[in-house]
Amino acid sequence: MTRLTIALTAFLALALSIGVFRITYQVDELEKELHSLNKEILDEQETIHILKAEWSYLNDPARLESLAKRYLNLEEMKGGQLINLDQLDKKLLIPQDPNTKPAKLEQ
C-alpha cells in the first residue's frame, strides 16, 4: 500500500512537472507568436495608413479630371441628365430634340 502510494506520488510529480514545463514552453512559444503577429498587425496598419494617404493623393479631383479627359471618352455630368421619378414618363415618352434649348424668358 505504502509503496503503491509512493510510486503513484512520484509518478504524479513527474508527470505534472513535465506537463508544467511543456505548458510553460508552449506559452512562451505562443507569446512569441503573439508578439510577432502584433508587430505584423502594426506594420500592416502602418502600410494601410500610408496607402490611404496615397489613395487620397491619387484621388485628387484635379488629377482625376485630367486623367479622365485624356483616357476616357466621358464628359462632365450635366444637370439635364438627372430627372425626378415623377418626371420619368414625361421625359422618356417625349424624346427631346438635342438642338432645342429650354425656353428662355423673353425680355
Contact residues for other proteins, defined by CB under 8 A: 31, 34-35, 38, 41-42, 45-46, 49-50, 52-57, 59-62, 65, 76-84, 87, 101-102, 105-107
Least distance to other proteins, CB of residue 40, Å: 10
Closer to other proteins by CB, 4 or 105: give it.
105
Distance CA 57, CA 20 (A): 54
Min dist CB 20 to other proteins, Å, is 13
Q: Tell me the closest approach of the beta carbon of residue 85 to other proteins, in angstroms.
A: 10
The burial of 88, by beta-carbon neighbours within 10 Å (0-12 exposed, 13-18 middle, 19 or more buried), is given as exposed
- The span from the CA of 29 to the CA of 38, in Å, is 14
Cα 103 to Cα 44: distance, rounded to the nearest angstrom: 58
Identify the residue whose cell numbers are 511543456. 22
How far is it, in rounded angstroms, from Cα 16 to Cα 52? 52
50 or 92: CB nearest other proteins: 50
Q: Which residue, 56 or 73, has its beta carbon nearer to other proteins?
A: 56
Q: Among residues 12 and 50, whose Cβ is nearest to other proteins?
A: 50
